[in-house]
Amino acid sequence: MDSGEGRRNDTVDAVFHPPENVHAVNATTPRSAAFLFAAVFVLLFVLTLPFPYHVLPDVGGWLRPVTEPCVAWICSTILHLNRPYTAAIVSDSTGMYVHTFLLMFVSAAIGIFRAIARRGTVVSSDAKALFRAAAGYYLALQLLEYGADKLFKHQFGIPEPNILYSAVGSLARDILYWSTIGSSYSYNVVVGVLEAAAALLLLFRRTRLLGALCAVGVMANIVVINFTFDISVKLYSCFLLFLGIVVAWPALVRLFGLLVLSRPAAAWSPARPPSSRRQMMFRAVGKAALIVAILFEALYPYFTAGNFNDDTATRPALHGAWNVELFVRNGDTVPPTTDAGLRPRRFFVHRRGYFITQSMRDEMTDYKLGYRGADSELILNANDGATIDLRYTLSGNDSLLTLEGTWRSDAVTIRARRLNLDSLPLLQPSFHWTIDDYH
């Protein structure tokens, strides 16, 4: 091997096989600058993102009176964006994107400034290990929450009645995906276990790199799903994937060297152990408290509600799909024809408080649903502000429903029969080992 080839391999080794026992690196190197950018960005993002925790403090929510007006000012004054747009820092809003790019700019500026101003100083590799541990704990919290949501069927619930009676072509891709995944309990359990397993591995030092690699695989799949099915958590899922890459970086570097460069990977020691018994005790107590807080936050809503399978949770009394058998308008019976106007083919009671009608042409109209009196009167609030009052009575073992009242300016009487949702093919617990059963 000539001297040029030797120098090239030395350079490769320096990049992909950093010395394990060296606890300081030059802060002016690109790797240290990248670390500073990542550390500042992750810290700012986590602290300023409003997140509805159950027991942990929502620091981002507290900072909203400062962050959201700042984002709104940037949108209108600097970017000159034309309304309508959402300046609030939520989901994939314009405000969320502007806020994220602002944090990236600030983080890059801080990283570059420190690299220049503190030339010659060092960044401890223990600080890097601490940062990756903190990032791993936050990622574990999110993965455990999403994993529990799937395990207990709270994220992808069984499709609502109006979805079950909608044509596939009329559904948006995100609703179609959500409904398809929600129809399979076993798939939710499998995915939930994978996310929860990655989260638990992230909580412990010896398994953190393995957990991070699992998290990268899980989050990469979620990012692809969110983009290809147009699900509105694209930005946050990308952030969680970025966290996984940050935590898994030492393992990814070694895997690249082993699988691509065909070089043996040295043993990895993520951090130096505490030097005294007091430090070990302090670290153990702090770690235990943090793990308990993460587990409590992720599992709190399910234990307090006692709901460990949302598919079997109690629904409202009228929840379901109803086929309209009789529709009387101002004393006249309206036949079930496609030009019947107000007459619905079916109506649906959604568990989240919606009354949805399906016209004779299969067009869906939703109303916000409320109750009055002893829950024997329905109050429907239309999108145009109109209010519809309907009294209802149940008979025939709760399979027949009669609605009477005023629908806008018309007196109506509606008689409907409950449809058996469990008989639909999508909700059948079918499984086939062979194709023979299909014939």
Mark whether 283 and 347 lie in a shared domain. no
Mark whether 365 and 289 lie in a shared domain. no
d(CA 199, CA 146): 10
| Residue 173 covered by a domain | yes
| Residue 435 covered by a domain | no
Mark whether 134 and 109 lie in a shared domain. no
Number of structural domains the chain divides into: 3
Bridge partners (DSSP) of residue 395 are 400
Mark whether 85 and 128 lie in a shared domain. no
* Contact criterion met (CB below 8 Å) for 273 and 26: no
Residue where one domain finishes, among candidates 120, 143, 165? 120
Residue where one domain finishes, among candidates 120, 152, 181? 120
| Residue 327 covered by a domain | yes
Tokens 């699992």 identify what position? 214
**Which is more confidently placed, 10 or 415?**
415
d(CA 347, CA 401): 11
* Contact criterion met (CB below 8 Å) for 58 and 121: no
Bridge partners (DSSP) of residue 401 are 394, 416
Of 5-19, 153-167, 350-364, 412-426, minimum mean pLDDT range: 5-19
| Residue 112 covered by a domain | yes
Q: By residue range, what is the domain housing residue 77?
A: 15-120
Mark whether 178 and 260 lie in a shared domain. yes
| Residue 70 covered by a domain | yes
Mark whether 69 and 210 lie in a shared domain. no
Mark whether 145 and 93 lie in a shared domain. no
The pLDDT confidence band at residue 213, using thresholds 50, 70 and 90, is: very high
Mark whether 224 and 332 lie in a shared domain. no
| Residue 427 covered by a domain | no
Mark whether 129 and 161 lie in a shared domain. yes
Mark whether 94 and 152 lie in a shared domain. no
Q: Give the CATH number of the domain where residue 325 resides.
A: 2.40.128.20
Residue where one domain finishes, among candidates 64, 98, 120? 120
Mark whether 302 and 202 lie in a shared domain. yes
Bridge partners (DSSP) of residue 349 are 320, 355
Kindly report each contact of residues 41-49 with a partner whose C-beta sits within 8 Å and lies 24 or more positions away, as own/partner.
41/103, 41/104, 41/107, 42/131, 42/135, 42/138, 42/243, 42/246, 44/103, 44/106, 44/107, 45/100, 45/103, 45/239, 46/138, 48/89, 48/99, 48/103, 49/89, 49/236
Phi (first) and psi of residue 124, to 5 degrees? -70, 140
| Residue 37 covered by a domain | yes
| Residue 354 covered by a domain | yes
The pLDDT confidence band at residue 270, using thresholds 50, 70 and 90, is: low
d(CA 27, CA 121): 6
| pLDDT value at 93 more than 90 | yes
Single pTM value for the model: 0.87
The predicted-structure confidence for 350-401, as pLDDT tens digits, reads as follows 999 999 999 999 999 999 999 887 668 999 999 988 899 999 999 988 899 9
* 230 token code pair: 């147009």
Mark whether 75 and 141 lie in a shared domain. no
